[in-house]
A and B are shown apart, each in its own frame.
Chain A
């Protein structure tokens, strides 16, 4: 994806000039008229408003500008371009130059723009429960600083999440230097502690692993959600899809094996997949390690308990041995440090290190065990040793291990400060709550999964008077430099000391990436092979609990984001809730069905109980229960409060380490779950067409080999001729991983409203592109059915059934072949939706667009009509983007080139599964995609002649596992 727009920088020449009219102040003014004024905190500006004398550079009304910045999630950066319309950031695009993005993003980055404008964000300083000001806080801090200076900060503790920001790391290092008795603790509920322990076991030092999926012919994912949960997931998905296209007849250039507990995006995409409980997985991997001759692993480990295990063991070993140096094993999530260290040893044995895997020094500033860190902190707090606690963008009252009693301990800290985007659970318990500026409002920096650093530059002045963590830490140490901009510049002037810092800085901002900052491979000395974990690592309880990140709320930090809450979770298509996932046999044995409310107790601590609905997934391992985190918030905001069940209640220190056994009791009650897809079987219909590689080689035209599967050729009417452009789309089901990024990117681009749980229950969600999931019985999928994903936007049918039945001509074909919806003309008969066989049309049954909250007006894309109630809407192929590109081309007196129009769903797709372009251009990518023998039209036999077509899916299962 290439952005034609020049990427300006949000840099100011002199940020320290308090009252000079610099660009940031100007932005502030601009934003004021659009949003700030009405956001309810400041009132309309009192100043005289005069028109521009000199037009600010690059601020052309109607023309968006893009700022290269970074979206920082769990500490790690994903390069983004922030689209800003006359000062209002409205959309996030991936930064094509950033290694973790390559132009794509995940769902969280897309939704972060809504978070920026969230009216529930913290808007003021609080002292306890009373409103206060930054000045009052600074005065209070002054007194604290004196104490700290005296005792060396003996009672001072800093608590952060995962930090990769060089500036913040430097600042905190300086703080620890200034107050040598102070301590820096880290707590991120999803921090991969075991990875650090494993690196210590294997290499004797902390390290991180970077995967090169584009180089791996065989990938074995051991309970690692490569495409969903890792800081590099977007890139990994991209590399995986690239590799897949590069060989195996263009559809199966690699083979992915997944052994996992719960279904993940990676497992759904896998060619061969096996669901096992954690202990079984560990046993399996140790036996595979023995088979491939990993040094130090005893060849005779106890036999496999699972019937599939022995078959898998042989198959995996065979595949690995056959692909030395181009295979890759990755273990994650619930695996013990010993097993993960073993995986390092296996990769080394296979010669993968340096080829498909790079071991780098940790990207995070403090590679420590977070559970241990927060446990120590809580103990000190309880012992009264902590006098001052500064919590930077963390929410431990909500997400610290349940048995630490963090909230109570926090009450004993006299000077507790919480800097947060929301006045959340911690903000309400702390002595001071300070509003944090959003990442798109402040200067910062962060590093990506591979170490690449980016400058985080603001696209708008802070809406609610928040400050960044840098600015707060500068206050703590009484730094001479206070502004975020100057602080970040100072860091980089130090790190990237060169003769021409200004050029370096400008380039860094313009590109969104700091050149050559990627981490170098770590020199690994001798490898230590760990000893096998004791079989009791995972308690042999009837029901083991695994706490997992939620695909929508993360670990709770996005709970107040309505786009994410309403984004159907990939496997359940559930919205506005979390559910305990269990396997089919477990459900049967306990008499449970989806929607049953159960009471969960920890075996160890029976007073920790939780009521949560269960969801039965046949792809889930038996004897294990997966509990998504991030719900049951009490101070998330108006959207997230009270949504779902707070699984942190059961997540004790032991549980966070993967040792939790549960007791499950049926309550006899039911919980109503709002899903967007209630039926997951295809009923024998040719919807998602798939074959194995062998079948494909035998019959390359399997997707369209029967007349019924093809679009009828004959027609009484002559073909309509499109003179200029003829738009079309091709969706590659081989590439789609079902991550939902397209759905949410479309939501952001096209001003699609959210409707809430009640309306989703009624079947009225508004997404223009949905990702359908079907369960298919397919060879190589093991005993359980395989999940396949299919994104469904409007098909823009040539003979569109919707157009024929609209009595007022509100849906018509345009001159470039788009099926367009004329909102002004629509009276709302809904006949078009009835007649749409794909059911992609969405109706405003009520007034869904929020036209009351001012900040939600600001997030709207000015190029897309905001629909009112009573009208139908649907995918437009991003008509506004086509038009913008066409106008630009016409200004240059030429026609549009292939690739100049990129739809929102296409832009965000990490695997490039969606291709859009001109069907009149014989060389366009979309035409090439449609020339594939795999290309088929959904419901072709209806003769709707869709413009959106699909590439049928080809899987590459291990023949031995079929």
Chain B
């Protein structure tokens, strides 16, 4: 028995971690992806394809800067189009990461452990891409910094009543805190990578870089104590941000007077939608990740099923948002709101509205079935549907509200142009490209936390 206590623990199957893993094997398994595993043809192909997409993204952006936002389909009255829809969609996707890391940490949910790292990376990339779109969307993007309150000789400040200024702060704060949270969480793992990298010239380079990034982590008890405190504090800081960011993003619309924008349900509705799309994206990423890197024991069916349960819950919240919009329109008796609501069902964008309802409300109901929750491929398909549905929701909010507002004489229709699609699709390529880099160069699952989970599972089992 005493020997058992001295022997490193071996995990038991606790659902979110399969049996038979020890400290060393966990570390090997995860760090090998980064340090020793050769880049397979699959990764290289995906990398090259998405890199081409990244080049397209930057090329299209250069063209956008040369010609102006007129290359997109935006017009008067629909002055906001794909760019703002994409922005809201990406920022929504960027929600799940922080939610999983911070909120679930505070709620002591063990199943967050193996998915928080890549979910946070997803958050960073998505929020970063989201942050690009409002700048691209500007008529004169080179002056985007005028939204920042910086001291200048003209003494001109931003106009504080504008939600776009709040938005600027909300997003930059969120990005900053998410980055800190992610990085602090990475430090023990970076140290592990530093220590495990060999002395072979290539490995030596990795050792130096990981070593620099690890900020001198030695795994001392003092380090751990401070680390734990800092991590918890950051989690506490990040938690309100999860709610605030999308609340403020929703203000971009709710503060406006346009029918379809001007609604008090928007903040909770946007936050719910963000979690919904974020968890869908977590599934979209987790399923190939565990498949291609053989992480089935760490990212188990339990994880996927739990995420699916969150999807059901948030799907209903989103559905409540849809219902509340309709109810408010009729309850207010406002003819403009009522017209806009009916127009969503019957107007030119009705097919989009119908598809959105199918993707966001009907399809997720399949997840009530345990069989489907545990069917990897169906889950993957459903997650893609939800991503699509949420994009359509953003499109509808932005575009369909604007295209039928107060004066019928000014009504118009938005049609996307070639460049609208280029920017949307290539931004997805950029996201995947960043994620591919991430899984190759940083541990996609937290090694330190997995080791803690091994110990916990061993204790729990005994």
Nearest to B81 among chain A residues (CB) is A830
- Determine if A684 is an interface residue (Cβ-Cβ < 8 Å): yes
- Determine if A801 is an interface residue (Cβ-Cβ < 8 Å): yes
Q: What's the interface size class on B, roughly? A: 35 or more
Shortest CB-to-CB span from A503 to chain B, Å, is 53
Residues of B within 8 A of A762 (CB): 70, 73, 75, 415
- Determine if B183 is an interface residue (Cβ-Cβ < 8 Å): no
Q: Can you list 6 pairs linking A and B with CB atoms under 8 Å apart?
A: A687-B409, A790-B409, A792-B409, A805-B161, A807-B162, A837-B405
The stretch of A182-190, A260-268, A327-335, A820-828 that contacts the partner chain: A820-828
- Determine if B19 is an interface residue (Cβ-Cβ < 8 Å): no
Contact A763 B76 (CB under 8 A): yes
Shortest CB-to-CB span from B420 to chain A, Å, is 12
- Determine if B146 is an interface residue (Cβ-Cβ < 8 Å): yes
- Determine if B51 is an interface residue (Cβ-Cβ < 8 Å): no
CA distance A773 to B407 in the complex (A): 11
Residues of B within 8 A of A844 (CB): 68, 139
Shortest CB-to-CB span from B281 to chain A, Å, is 27
- Determine if B23 is an interface residue (Cβ-Cβ < 8 Å): no
- Determine if A524 is an interface residue (Cβ-Cβ < 8 Å): no
Write out, one digit per residue, whether chain B residues 40-84 have a CB within 8 A of any chain A CB (1) or not (0): 000000000000000000000000000111110111111110000
- Determine if A609 is an interface residue (Cβ-Cβ < 8 Å): no
CA distance A763 to B79 in the complex (A): 10
On whether A682 and B408 interact (CB within 8 A), knowing A764-B76, A842-B76, the answer reads yes
Contact B408 A847 (CB under 8 A): no
Write out, one digit per residue, whether chain B residues 398-430 have a CB within 8 A of any chain A CB (1) or not (0): 000010011111111101000000000000000
**Restricting to A792-834, which residues have a CB under 8 Å from any CB of B?**
792, 801, 803-809, 825-831, 833-834
Shortest CB-to-CB span from A830 to chain B, Å, is 4
Residues of A within 8 A of B402 (CB): 834
- Determine if B25 is an interface residue (Cβ-Cβ < 8 Å): no
The stretch of B250-258, B264-272, B387-395 that contacts the partner chain: B250-258
Contact A835 B137 (CB under 8 A): no
- Determine if A677 is an interface residue (Cβ-Cβ < 8 Å): yes
Contact B76 A808 (CB under 8 A): no
Residues of A within 8 A of B411 (CB): 678-679
CA distance A680 to B411 in the complex (A): 10
Counting chain A CB atoms within 10 Å of each CB, the highest count among B77, B137, B139, B158 belongs to B139
**Restricting to B77-111, which residues have a CB under 8 Å from any CB of A?**
77-80
Contact B162 A831 (CB under 8 A): yes
Shortest CB-to-CB span from A942 to chain B, Å, is 6
The answer, among B137, B161, B410, for a CB contact under 8 Å with A804, is B161
- Determine if B36 is an interface residue (Cβ-Cβ < 8 Å): no
Write out, one digit per residue, whether chain A residues 661-683 have a CB within 8 A of any chain B CB (1) or not (0): 00000000000000001111111
Contact B168 A807 (CB under 8 A): yes
CA distance A831 to B412 in the complex (A): 17
- Determine if A869 is an interface residue (Cβ-Cβ < 8 Å): yes
On whether A837 and B139 interact (CB within 8 A), knowing A806-B162, A807-B147, A830-B79, the answer reads no
**Restricting to B109-165, which residues have a CB under 8 Å from any CB of A?**
134, 137-141, 143-144, 146-147, 156-159, 161-165
16 more contacts with CB within 8 A, not counting A762-B75, A827-B144, A828-B140, are A685-B336, A764-B76, A770-B409, A804-B162, A808-B143, A827-B143, A830-B74, A835-B258, A837-B257, A837-B406, A841-B76, A844-B68, A846-B70, A869-B139, A870-B140, A942-B257
Contact B159 A808 (CB under 8 A): yes
Residues of B within 8 A of A843 (CB): 76, 79, 139
The answer, among A772, A809, A870, for a CB contact under 8 Å with B407, is A772
CA distance A842 to B74 in the complex (A): 12
Shortest CB-to-CB span from A868 to chain B, Å, is 8
Shortest CB-to-CB span from B397 to chain A, Å, is 12
Contact A809 B139 (CB under 8 A): no
CA distance A187 to B140 in the complex (A): 52
CA distance A774 to B339 in the complex (A): 18
Nearest to B161 among chain A residues (CB) is A804
Contact B159 A809 (CB under 8 A): yes
- Determine if A871 is an interface residue (Cβ-Cβ < 8 Å): yes
- Determine if B346 is an interface residue (Cβ-Cβ < 8 Å): no
CA distance A844 to B70 in the complex (A): 8
**Restricting to A838-852, which residues have a CB under 8 Å from any CB of B?**
838-839, 841-847
On whether A831 and B409 interact (CB within 8 A), knowing A842-B76, A843-B139, A845-B75, the answer reads no
Nearest to A871 among chain B residues (CB) is B139
Residues of B within 8 A of A773 (CB): 409
On whether A838 and B256 interact (CB within 8 A), knowing A807-B168, A829-B138, A871-B139, the answer reads no
Shortest CB-to-CB span from B20 to chain A, Å, is 56
The answer, among A759, A826, A871, for a CB contact under 8 Å with B70, is A759
CA distance A807 to B139 in the complex (A): 13
Write out, one digit per residue, whether chain B residues 183-195 have a CB within 8 A of any chain A CB (1) or not (0): 0000000000000
Question: 4 tightest A-B contacts by CB?
Answer: A828-B139, A870-B139, A845-B70, A763-B75
Contact B256 A809 (CB under 8 A): no
Counting chain B CB atoms within 10 Å of each CB, the highest count among A683, A825, A829 belongs to A829
